[in-house]
Structure 1
Amino acid sequence: MANWGLTRKQIIMLIVLVFGTFVTVLNQTVVAPALPSIMSEMSVDAAVAQWLTTGFTLVNAIMVPITAFLTDRFTTRRLFLASMVLFTAGTALAAWGPNFPVLLAGRLIQAAGAGILMPLVMTVLMWTFPIDRRGTAMGVFGIVIAFAPAAGPTVAGIIIDQANWHVMFWIIAVLCAAVIVFAAAALERGGKTNKDVKLDVVSVALSTLGFGGLLYGLSAIGSYGVTADSAGGVVIGAIALAFFFRRQLRMEQPMLQVRVLTNRRFLIATIIVMLVQGALLAGGILIPILLQSYMGFSATTSGLVLLPGAIVMGAMGPVAGRLFDKHGPRVLAIIGTGVLALTTATFMFMGPGMGLITLTVIYTVRLFSLSLVNMPISTWGMNALPDKLMNHGTSVQNTFRQVAGSLGTAVIVSASTVATNMVSGSTDAVTAGVFGIHAAFAVATALCVLGFVLTVALVRNKPGDEAAADEDNAHRSLIERIMKRDVYTLPENATVLEAMQLLVNNHISAAPLIDAAGKPTGFISDGDIMRYLSKRGQMIMDPVVMIVQTVDAYSDHKDYAHKLEHLMGMKASDIGAKGIIGVSVHADLPEVCRVLGENHLKKVPVLEDGVIVGVINRSDITHFSMEKYLEERGA
């Protein structure tokens, strides 16, 4: 801790914030392994039980725009404590849960608290820690929070098998109570308040009635068929949403800036993300039901089956970002949606005879494919928006993603219930249940296939995308001011000898390889040359170690000179990296910083229509930022 450069008070505050958020995120994934036990104890079917997950997600979605008002109106300390108290109260109510309505009420109250907490903690971290220490705080926060969804199902499964689902919620309630006590003592007041800011209550009511009505109607159709109640829920929900969108478009300061959906690329990205999210979440509900209710496995086992997929999806975040920078959204999204459709379709044929390892592998690959869709497509859509609409785009996309998860799950699980009821009179309960799950995954497959078709037809790596979003060439002017125009390049057919001469003569460590049209095809660095000469061939090692081993090779092996001579005649493209990570001349500065940071680069080429026109170093951005700060301070 001391090496992090944080004071004792900051460390305590970081622990409180991270642990509080960890518990709430953990809570979002602990319910899935408990669903079979809850269904059995309370005599409800899957279409009703799924409300514990979809209702939670829906309330979270509704709270996203409301949280913006709350963070302006109240201090962060008061809001953090209030959200934790609300979450704890809901958890305790769920733990008591003598019947399903009480349990559901507890989950919805939990969701209200969690919906405030997640965006709030990010704000608290920003004002608590100085700029030079935010990286450490956010890094620890990200690692712990990424671990929570993976650990949730396994921890829940163990507790349920050893005790019951009531105990699981009681443990979470006790942990939350401890967080409240420590937070009251550790958190500073923080943040400015604006008592003049107002919440549009009508918009809140319309969104709640609209999304809630749709969710209720779709779930009721799955349990009881098309009745007056279910049809009424769908109709009322649709009408309320129509008025909600109409109101948002007419307001100068809407609760949710839905005007961003008029941007075609952003709309396409949002639709694809919604389809994928709607198809995905149902798997987390159906798999535990299949394993526990129809295959006879324990809750612990079902949690362990879900664990590898959650770990892989969390670990793939930064990897997907790097792949996006290198290859663009199209190839990643096509592979992701294609694999997602195939693995989802595979679940249509699984049954009690399928091995646990096979099921786990398929489920893990399914979540892996999601990581190739969500981040690349979301970033592709967000990049189409101008800077002034970026925060609105984030709110809209987050809200719609969670709503799609709720409604998609309701539709898919309802399909399972309808299919099960259709054949229950002509076969045994296990066969009917498995048939229902097959039908549910058939619906999920249809959503994935639709997402795949939209991706193939509409997602493009267009060079002009950034230019279209760069109003008045404001980004371009800034990038051209910062970048260096002297770029040393090599033709793609250059030899390693020519590459070495360029690197040595110009005192640089790497150079791009370009084709006849001037477009980059790869790059070669001094590290590529050292790796080739090293004893360990192409293995990535510490540069100092490679130098030492190269010198050893020279003294120990007489054929070193022959090896070096052979290397000099090889093509640079044979030992260099294929492809190149660059930024558009129309990219904004935060995007350039993201590419440099996530890919651990010291410099990045600047591209215009695929041709290198300059290069930006990390030091260039640092010097520019310092100059601007001193200039504004002096003014």
Structure 2
Amino acid sequence: MNAAGTEKQAPVDLSGIKRGPIVAALIIGAFVAILNETLLNIAFPDLMKEFGIGPSTIQWLSTVYMLVIGILVPVTALLQQWFTTRQMFLSAMILFLAGTVICAAAPSFELLLVGRIVQALGTGLMLPVMMNTILVIYPPENRGAAMGMIGLVIMFGPAIGPTLSGFIIDHLSWRWLFILVIPLAIFSILFASMFLRNVTDLTKPKVDILSIVLSSIGFGGIVYGFSKAGEGSWSDPAVVWTLVAGGIGLILFIIRQLIVREPILDLRAFKYPMFSIVTVLLLVLMMTLFSTMILLPLFLQTALLMTAFKAGLTLMPGGVVNGIMAPISGKLFDKFGPRVLIIPGLVLVLISIFFFKDISVETTAGYVVTLHIVLMIGISMVMMPAQTTGLNQLPRHLYPHGTAILNTLQQVAGAIGTALFISIMSSGTKNYFASNPQATEAEGLVAGLQDAFLIAFLVGIIALVIGLFIKRVNVSPEQEKKEVA
């Protein structure tokens, strides 16, 4: 007990901490992990050819990544109370490096899949640690700018990933997608080992194995079920039974967390109204965001007949602008609060999707670039300000739980959004061909995309209504006392 009590006094010394090197270490690691996650999708055709496998098999390289993160992230709230910031982050990066080396050298698809699982373990550990550390080392009035820097990294990786990947695939082997990441990961480990220090409290709560099992079944089943539905049919028995098992597991997990003394994911975070509102908003918004992330590349490559490299170039300006806007939005958030950013941001998201729902085979690349930039500016004005607002209301001991909840539910929202909008698009395309049997493939796809964007627009309206309830929150008395100390 004495050791735990001593550890809890750590926040007293944070006034003299050097935040810059700590944030730099976190950002470098996050950039490496997120960049690699977005590099691989464009290499799927080459991998299918090399390993002699079909689309449903190759899709596992993405599905397993989301699945592992969906299972692991809820447990990070517990892990962060048992292990120091340094231990968590360095373990995450070493796992990620090991996975990258396995992928680079993989002689078979099975080993490549193992490498992706190990990479996902590293990424799943890293993201909640990064957000939790920012909450601990920055006072509430400065968190917006710090979270904005994290947003810059999170969005800049996906912005350049597809284009960089297309260039590498055109000139080198797919293995270079992993080989080039290895020195970056090594640099991140060395930098973090020199500059990263522990900033969190170690309370070492009791480990509830049953909660971990129920969490894995619940979140894993839901993420996998929706991911599988997005690839095929909702009536597939594997989809139905996985979603049923996931739903039951999740209900039992929630009940378990409400009755045990030391839950692995403390749902009391939802007692704070702004955190609850932000959680619902981000769920809805992530579904909308995933609709464009999935649908736009399909439109560019199938309807406008672009190469993967050119499609990546078309979407890159929006991603870059989003990355640039993230720290700007953070600074504005610190100065003016969330409403000044979130409401106009959601309006911009709605405007862009409203015009996306009327795209056709005659739509120009310039039109897509413009609307995508508007969309990404809107997203940058909402994502990090909303997350920071919700987390600001939590007391310090709920930081790991709040970050784990948000990161987990974003994975779930991504899986649901992907499955939902792919299903809507497929259904719309099928109905169009039934009414217009002579239509071209591009015309059928566009009809399906228009249906999907219409639903995305309606979902966006729900997000805007939720956004109207968000306001600047006062820091909880418990948190304020600790941070002043």
Please tell me the TM-score bracket, short chain as reference: 0.7 to 0.9
CA drift at 1:248:
0.9
Which whole-Å CA distance do the structure 1 matches of 2:126 and 2:92 have between them? 6
Aligned equivalent of 1:213, options 187, 210, 221: 221
Q: Distance in 2 between matches of 1:379 and 1:306?
A: 27
Q: How does 1:319-358 map to 2 (within 5 A)?
A: 319-324=328-333, 328-358=337-367
Q: Does 1:43 align with 2:57?
A: no
Residue equivalent to 1:392? 401
- Residues of 1 paired with 2:392 and 2:28: CA distance? 33
**Cα deviations across residues 503-534 of structure 1 (Å, max 9, x unaligned)?**
xxxxxxxxxxxxxxxxxxxxxxxxxxxxxxxx
Displacement, 1:452?
A: 1.8
Once residues 391 and 119 of structure 1 are traced to their aligned partners in structure 2, the CA distance between those partners, rounded to angstroms, is: 7
**Which SS does the other structure have where 1:373 is aligned?**
helix
Counterpart of 1:304?
A: 313
Q: From 229, 233, 243, give the equivalent of 1:224.
A: 233
SS of the residue 1:245 aligns to? helix
What is the aligned counterpart of 2:33 among 20, 24, 47? 24
RMSD: 4.3
Q: What is the Cα deviation at residue 107 of structure 1?
A: 3.1
Aligned-pair distance for 1:23?
Answer: 1.5
Closer, same or farther: CA 125–382 of 1 in aligned 2, 3 Å: closer
TM-score computed with the length of structure 1 as normaliser: 0.60
> Any gaps of 5 or more consecutive residues in structure 1?
1-9, 130-134, 476-587, 592-624, 629-635
User: In the alignment, which residue of structure 2 is the partner of 1:264?
Assistant: 273
More moved, 188-197 vs 54-63: 188-197
2:460 maps to 448
Structure 1 partner of 2:372:
363
The 3 A distance-change label for structure 1 pair 31 and 232 is same
Which 5+ residue runs of structure 2 have no aligned equivalent?
1-18, 138-142
Worse-matched range after superposition: 423-432 or 407-416: 423-432
1:232 offset after TM fit, Å?
1.1
SS at match of 1:349: coil
Corresponding residue for residue 290 of structure 2: 281
Which fold has the larger relative contact order, with Cα–Cα distance below 8 Å and residues 6 or more apart in sequence?
2
Per the alignment, do residues 415 and 444 of structure 1 end up closer, same or farther by CA in structure 2, a change over 3 Å counting?
same
Equivalences for 1:483-498 in 2 at 5 Å? none
Letter in 1 for 2:212: V
In terms of fraction of residues, the more helix-rich structure is: 2
Report if aligned partners of 1:54, 1:409 keep a CA contact under 8 Å in 2.
no
Q: CA 1:387/1:13 → structure 2, altered by over 3 Å: closer, same or farther?
A: closer
- In 1, the alpha carbon distance for the partners of 2:457 and 2:423 equals 15
Change in 2 beyond 3 A, CA 1:377/1:225? closer
Q: Which amino acid aligns with 2:449?
A: I
Query: How much does 1:226 deviate?
Result: 0.9
CA displacement 1:338-376 (0-9 Å, x = unmatched): 221231232222234322221111111101111222233
CA separation in 2, counterparts of 1:121 and 1:255?
Answer: 19
> CA shift at 1:125, angstroms?
10
Pairwise CA distance, 1:153: 2.7
The residue identity in structure 1 corresponding to 2:255 is R
Alpha-carbon contact 1:207-1:244 (below 8 Å) kept: yes
AA partner of residue 54 (structure 2): S
CA distance in 1, matches of 2:227, 2:20: 45
In 1, distance between residues paired with 2:217 and 2:166? 34
1:562-601 counterparts in 2 under 5 A? 588=480
Q: Which has the larger radius of gyration?
A: 1
Deviation at 1:122, TM superposition (A): 7.7
Shift of 1:281: 2.5
Per-residue deviation at 1:210? Answer: 1.5
Aligned amino acid, residue 400 of structure 1: L
Cα separation, 1, equivalents of 2:197 and 2:470? 47
Q: CA-to-partner distance for each residue in 1:434-490, whole Å, 9 max, x for gaps?
A: 33333332332232122123334xx1658xx64xx755xx89xxxxxxxxxxxxxxx
Structure-2 change in CA distance of 1:195 and 1:271 (3 Å): closer
TM-score when normalising by structure 2: 0.76
Distance (Å, rounded) in 2 between the aligned partners of 1:11 and 1:323: 20
Q: How far does residue 229 in structure 1 lie from its aligned partner after superposition?
A: 2.2
